Structure 1
Amino acid sequence: MNIRRPLRVCAAALAVAILVSGCKSDADRLSEYRSSGLEYAANGDQARAIIQYRNALKIDPDDAETRGAIAQAFLAQGTIREAEQEFTLLSERFPDILEFRSKLGEIALMRADWDALERQAEAADQIDAEALETQALRLAVRYRNARREGNRPRQNEISASAQALLEQRPAQPVLLRIAIENIATSDDPTAALPVLDAALAADPRLPELQLLRISLLADADQMDVAQDRLLDLARLYPDDPRIAGLLVARYMSRGRVDDAEAVLRALADGSPISDVSMRTMLVRFLKSTRGSDAALTELSRLIDEADDSPAAVIYAAMDRSIRFDMGDRDGAIEGLRRMLDDLGNAPEARIVQVLLARMHDRLGDRPAARILVNAALEMDPGEIEALKLRATWAIDEERPKDAIVDLRNALAQRPRDTELMTLLAAAHAQDGTRGLALEQLAAAAEVSGNAARESERYARALVTEGREFVATRVLDVAHSAAPGDIGIAVLLADLRMAQSDWAGVTNLLSSLRRIDDPEAISARATIEAALLLSQGREAGTVVDGMLSADPGRQVAFTRLISGLVARGDLDVARAQMDRATARRPGDVALRLLDGDLYAAEGDPIGAEDIYRALLDEPAAGDTPALRLFSLLAGQGRRDDADALLANALAAYPASRPLRLIESNRLDVIGETAGAIALLETLYAENASDPVVANNLATLLSAEGADPAQLERAARIVAPLQGNADPAVSDTIGWIAFQRGDATGALPLMRRAARGLPQDPQVQLRLGQVLMALSEMDEARSSFETVLTLAAEDHPVARAAQAKLQALGG
């Protein structure tokens, strides 16, 4: 966290400068602002540059030079939407200036907006067909077409043309994208190093290219060179977490935890004593890899090192936060309260207030959390972590417009924060503006340097929108940036197989074969078998090797069968399954998978026969009973399902999933006390189980529960706040309503009712909340819905009828 707030200090200084410069002409002031912005931009400080450009535009909104500069700053900062808006405005006002068309083409390429790319290439061609920028855009269009057709020779030819033009301007962004993308997807991605070196020699302040170069060096086993360059970059860009994150992720993907820690320690030790960002990153790393005790030991050292400086407060607050996670909740809260009393109005109080607010929120006391967040924002209306938490609540309570305001305020100060971008995407999606949501996910992927998780999040959203080919491109870039990330490689392989892009699948296999990791070996075995089967070739040897290397049959072979089923290749899946079970007729895991395949094929009798045959197999454990119970319950065979459950519990009395099912059964038949007792046992064994926590909180908060029960229920379910499961929304909303917060309960109950439209209990509760808020027409509609879902003599239906009578209907 940046305690010093340099951006705000700068803004205050600028305000003073404006007051004392009133005697200057508008032209002089405009020139000074623009010159100052250009100086900031040259030093890589785009945020301050944008502030200066905006001041200049207040004097003359039509100044083209300033608009061009601010558009370029937005582009360099990664705020693509704003950059596109500015360049579009400029291209409309100055249709004959090639630079603006070139930038719009570059943005279209970044966003994989192929129609826009073609439009900008055609417009550039009309302005100056021979210009380098125009040739670059034409090549980009041609490369995209060749890529779509899977024409590798054509791609190589176009890439060679791009590399030839790069000799004239080594850092031309469109040409670089073509050349690097083509090389990165080849058998030798390190061939991109000379291209990158030439570009960085022309412009060394290109962090994305620097990060890609480090990535390639690491892949070429030049880890020492990569680490040295990373440390140089960290000094050049001290506020960019991607730089440390890249090499740490690479070391971690190879199991080299000590080397990853060494990198972070070197960066932390090399930063000024007042800079907490790198040191807190080290603490978080230690907590995730070495455990909480190691993190606390490091914090103790840092507190001693910081002495009485403000940094000591941050480290002490982190110490309390970790202890809270370890279970000392009351002690952690009391410790932070004492710190707040000592801090008074010191700037660090805001950070402690937000941490304390998060603790109260996790314990289900959101009103207390709101008081603390409001206090932090009164001290500083731009406190980023407070804005982030308030926006998270707004999303949780389905107030997306409020969340968007807070998140945009926070992003204006921290424009490269991918967590803020991801939250803003969620708010836009909730607000119904899917296009803006995708833009934010795209921006998060872009500014993170195509980091794996941000890119994966964006790609999955694109797939949901039916834009699989754009998702494939996003993952291509992410895979090039992080070829060691198995998750990205597997998701990309799934997309390519779904598109029957077997050439692309072959390239991915080449990349995976360079990774000596059990997960990579399992993943490539699955892909190799799918590739052979797609070609109509016998995959027997590969499948046999897969089965031999996967004794539990829970990874590679299961993934192969699941992938075939997902693609609709049921006949191929059945053939492979029959072949495998014939070779290993006594293999329990294969027989279970065979039963699952019968169920997927719509043959419940075949599935039931297999599951029943496995009930007495000790090696199968409780799994056959669980699968069979689900199958029987799904067919409405409740008596058979209950008899099976009783026998299974006798055989496996310690089975957690069987006991959870039994608690549900007890609740359904009205034995609520027994259900609660069983859930209390399960909760004591594992308090982090979300299903158990939700179910227990639900039963504890039944209508008429006393305040102490409601408080405990709120604490139990609080860690699940923000969970998308409508059952969780129902539980949290109902508890809030019973504790007197009908307004806060309403959005949660609406979400629950949307997600569980056939649940009469949820509809009844929604009606009660609406009735308390005097929304009588909607309440009546909810109660009437209950009557269509439950039998007339059901208690829920009788309750709904009573509410309708109270409403006069």
Structure 2
Amino acid sequence: MKFRAHAYTAVFLALAAFGLAACDSGEERAQEHYDSGMALLQEGEPDKAQLEFRNAVKLDPAHVAARYELGLYLKSKNDIRGALGQFRSAAELDPNHIGARIELAEIMLVANQLDEAERFVLAAFALDPENPRVLGIKASVDYKRGNREEAVKVAREVIERIPENITTRLVLVADRVDSGDNEGALKLLDEGLAYKESDLSLNVVRLGVLEQLERADDIGPQLERLVEHYPRTDQFREALARWYVFKNQYDNAEAQYRAIADNNPRDYQRALDVARFVNALHGPERAREELERLASSDNPLVEYELAIATLDLREGDEAAAIERLDRLAAERTGADQNRARLERAKLHIKDEEFEAADVLLDAVIASDTKNADALRLRASRFLAADENDAAIRDLRAALDVAPKDVQIMLTLAAAYDRNGQRELALERLAQAMQESDFDLPITLRYAEALIRAQKPEVAESVMNDALKRRGESRDLLVALAQLKLRRQAWAEAERIANRLKVIDPKDAVADRLLAAAALGQRKFDESADILETVVDTEGGDASNGVIALVRALLAGGDVDRAYTYLTERLETKPEDVTALVLRASILSGRGDMEAAETDLLKAIEIEPGNAAAYASLARIYNSMGKASQVTETLQKGLTLNDRDVSLRLTQAMQLEYEGQFDDAIEVYEDLYKQRPSSTVIANNFASLLADHRASDPEQLSRAFNIAKRFRGSDQPYLTDTYGWLLHLTGSSAEALPLLRRAAEQLPTNPLVQYHLGVVLAANGEFSQARNRIDRAMTLSEQVNFSHADRAREVLKRIDALEADRARKAEEGKAQQ
């Protein structure tokens, strides 16, 4: 046993000795690699040297000097993240390594991380308070902290001792720029570049100074210098390409875009950028050649073929695009196949081949349930069919995949709004605004939604926040002023309008806002005077000013002055169509239909395509009881303006008035496709479907889905439509309070009274139901009411139900 123990001890000691030897060998080999790296640096071979430093660190992770040298190399290659890691490790391994702390301080200073920069530089200062680089960095931090005078003093002292110190020199450059002495700054930069021509900071700052001096001819050479020293930095090449375009040096610009593509062989967008530039410069034929070259390479990306299909479409060759997309969808697999299917589905939708589009979208989602593009596109199809819940499900799934996609957020907000879920819609709009960094159109859309939701204070706060972030945006200021007017904050609206006048003294919109603010304060003459000046200033195209002026006069009750103004204007400008249409409106309001007709006929003669004139004339003929002339006028107007929404809406209403409900529904359906967000069109369409297609379950379901957006509305017509559809879909108890409110707000509307009567009967309130139906019948003697026959049948059913209730009551008494 003793022998065995002795044997184990011997083995253990041998292994330990071998381990120590291996350790020594590893450290020695690491040092050899480090020494080799330093020698290579002396020979001007930094790329080979860094390989030696990496080997040293791999063999000995605690080799501080190797880490430091590797960090310097990475910094020289603009790999700041990698350099930062090496310098941090060196500083942690050796707290007294001043070089690592200086480099860390400089990196943090450039990144404007002042707290971190100050921490590192103070640590270095404690190690060597006389070190010029340390003093220079400390001066830079002090300058950025606002201690400018002391920082500049220290920087001058350092530069006198070490003129090649870049960080310190930049303090003096900043001082010159902040003092408005850009030429002096340029001189300091050039002196610094004489020591190190390739320094990134000096070159970038020099570029900025040249831009401030507006020395366009010198900017190009400066960018060329940056590209020479940093050939793989695409931002410099992009800027240089733009400068070449500015100087009409298109071949040089193309060369830069091609170099960027070469720098990024895996980024197909860079290659497509070249094709786009070629297209803009030489036309689609050359662009096609470029794309065909890309598409014919080994293992070509599907994106190049898709780009050719897009080019086909732009040139009007849809057949070629379809053939290519169908081929790709058949030949490719996986994600490439789905990309082709999606593009083909978009064409199906454009051509109104919806079933074919749906098949492709379902196939994409079946193979890739997290395909955000397909989910979003299918959701748009669901929304077009008013399948709001299905759209919302797809959009939620898409947002799970792409949580920062602003377009998905906006589409989901629209879906929630159409489903009557306004708070959820507002949440998504707020999210989209934040994610887009207060993008102007999105911010305005959110503000408008808040106003519609009766949250004007929140809307105002949102717009003020956007102004702080985006600066004095004209559109934001106009929207804010309009909100102030809605809230009757006249003085505040006036102040904002004056801010707009400071930005542009000739801003007619600002003048109209000032006029509206004056009108709100009942300063009618002042408001009219402002608008008259606007009209005079606008000269030939003064229609908006004329409309605003007349509205201001009418709002002030000064109908005579409005009429006189328009008449006088027409005496000097007899072909002012806007003035003719406005005067016709005043004349019709006075009951002078013939004179109004004359003005509108003249307006149409001057401007045969004026849709507003046709629509107004049709309404006047309707008031005069000239049904045939109403139809004739609308037909003429639509011949010239077949897509005009106002004319077609007037046509639909006329068809409804004449009892041609199927034709009216057909027009409304087309209008709804064109303007699915229009409240008037959506309400009228859903109402007609509810009243005349209720026997068709599919049409009834669609009408209810359309009307869901009216949940919570305080508009009686909208409340009536939604309440009536609740009843038709089996929720009569839920519908009753809504229809009561609508009937109270619209006491002279026979259809609304009829709806309430029917729902009262459905809830067993027969006496009240009879009263409402009787009221509807009475009102129908003065107002067009297409449901008179139905109302009579409802009264008969109420009689029968009351009789049945009375009979059952008598039978109950008899049984007692």
Provide the TM-score with structure 2 as the length reference.
0.48
Which one has more relative contact order, counting CA pairs under 8 Å at least 6 apart?
Answer: 1
